[in-house]
Structure 1
Amino acid sequence: MGLIAGLSLGLSFPLHADNLPGFSLTAKDGRFLPEQIDIPAGQKVRLVVKNEGPGPEEFESSALNREKVILPGKSAEIFIGPLKPGTYDFYGEFHPQTARGRIVAR
């Protein structure tokens, strides 16, 4: 179905993630870098988590209601927000003592 036909039927199409502010996070050797990411409050954002290994890591956050396993050498997009101003903790399920960080919405 073409775009014009879809619009005439009243169908909606998702917005492209390219329009969202993007932030990067790297999992490596049981740690997340950087440990803090500042994002704009009240706006949806795209977090790209890259796992540089050596094993799998899981981005997990109860505060953000998100969890995603990322295999070594792979990346994953995680959409967050819009968030109220505040600090939102996250950790790596496979290295919970060392893979810790926070997202600060300002």
Structure 2
Amino acid sequence: MGSAARLFPAMPALLIVTLWLAAPARAAAPVRIVLKNHGFTPDTVHVPANKRLLFDITNQDATPAEFESSDLRVEKIVVPGGRILVRAGPLRPGTYRFFDDYHPDQARGTVIASQSQTGQ
């Protein structure tokens, strides 16, 4: 047994516990959203709080769209017929708005993060 192991016998266990406590929040299941006729479906999604999120967004319109949210700090273009993946979070419990920047009056949505949700 090395001298470090004799001086610090609990070091491996302590390291494992420290890494586990410092690990970032795990991702929830992907949140699938479809953009069609300049609207989001679903337009309200419920997600677990304190989890990383992955939005899987498909644009079924013949025009480009921009998934944007100052609340979520995201802004990403999705081409006609295209698909994007957008990472966000972890989110504190609350309500977060998103929209299509090209059609902000038509395409709007809401993410509701709460402790009791198991994800979408």
List aligned pairs for 1:13-92, cutoff 5 A: 20-92=28-100
CA distance in 1, matches of 2:41, 2:103: 14
Count of aligned positions: 88
When residues 47 and 92 of structure 1 are mapped into structure 2, their CA distance, relative to the original with a 3 A threshold, is: same
Structure 2: give runs of 5+ residues left out of the alignment: 1-26, 115-120
TM-score (norm 2): 0.71
Q: Counterpart of 2:4?
A: none
Amino acid of the structure 1 residue aligned with 2:103: H
Counterpart of 1:99 (choices 92, 107, 111) is: 107
Structure with the largest fraction of helix: 2
Residue 20 of structure 1 deviates from its aligned partner by: 4.7
Paired residues of 2:53 and 2:87 also in contact (CA < 8 A): yes
Structure 1: give runs of 5+ residues left out of the alignment: 1-18
TM-score (norm 1): 0.80
Greater gyration radius: 2
Task: Give the CA RMSD over aligned residues.
Answer: 1.0
Residue 54 of structure 1 deviates from its aligned partner by: 1.6
Structure with the largest fraction of strand: 1
CA distance in 2, matches of 1:69, 1:29: 16
- Identity across the alignment (%): 35
Paired residues of 2:33 and 2:40 also in contact (CA < 8 A): yes
Extract structure 1 runs of 4+ deviating beyond 6 A: none
